[in-house]
Amino acid sequence: MHAIRIEGHGGPEVMRWTDLPDPSPGPGEALVRLGAAGVNYMDVGARTEGGPGWAAPAILGAEGMGYVTAVGKGVRDLAIGDRVAWFYHPGSYAELLAVPADSIVKVPDGVSDETAAAVMMQGLTASHLSTETYPIGPATPPWCTPRRAASASCSPR
């Protein structure tokens, strides 16, 4: 299998299309063949600076969608062929990855691969902004979107 891997931190030039051994699912994991990877600003930080869980060498990427190709011991709610998505699993820029089954959700019919790959992290961000950063409720002014609340521009016009 191939993955986008970094051996050290830096600009885009540190990313390499690398041939690696196929992973195997461990207990509680599903082996997933990537269908689409989400691309996030977090990936730039992981590439340039590292941080917890992103020490080089590393495979980049934190979310995606794909198809279950095998399941590890103890995995009961997933089956080979299931269309799934996940978020915050380092190593998502790989053709194959072993993902903890409790980090996976099944993708409903009618949701494109690209949307499924991107919506997990974006949905978590929207939920965080609208419930913790600036709780939105019935009295929230209509111009106060989560994006505006996060940028402190949520004051009356």
For residue 68, being part of any structural domain is answered with: yes
Identify the three-state secondary structure at position 82.
Answer: coil
Q: For residue 94, what is the domain's CATH number? A: 3.90.180.10
User: Would residue 48 count as lying in a domain?
Assistant: yes
Give the H/E segment covering residue 2: strand 2-6
Tell me whether residue 150 is in a domain. no
What tokens does 73 get?
Answer: 């011991």
Is pTM beyond 0.75? Reply is yes
pLDDT at 133: 75
In a domain, 147, yes or no: no
Q: Which tokens go with 118?
A: 């991107």
**Domain extent at residue 15:** 2-136
The CA distance from 32 to 70, in Å, is 7
The total number of structural domains in the chain stands at 1
Q: What is the per-residue pLDDT across 40-52, written as a single tens digit (0 to 9) for each? A: 888 888 899 887 7
**pLDDT tens-digit readout, 7-60:** 999 999 999 999 999 999 999 999 999 999 988 888 888 899 887 777 899 999
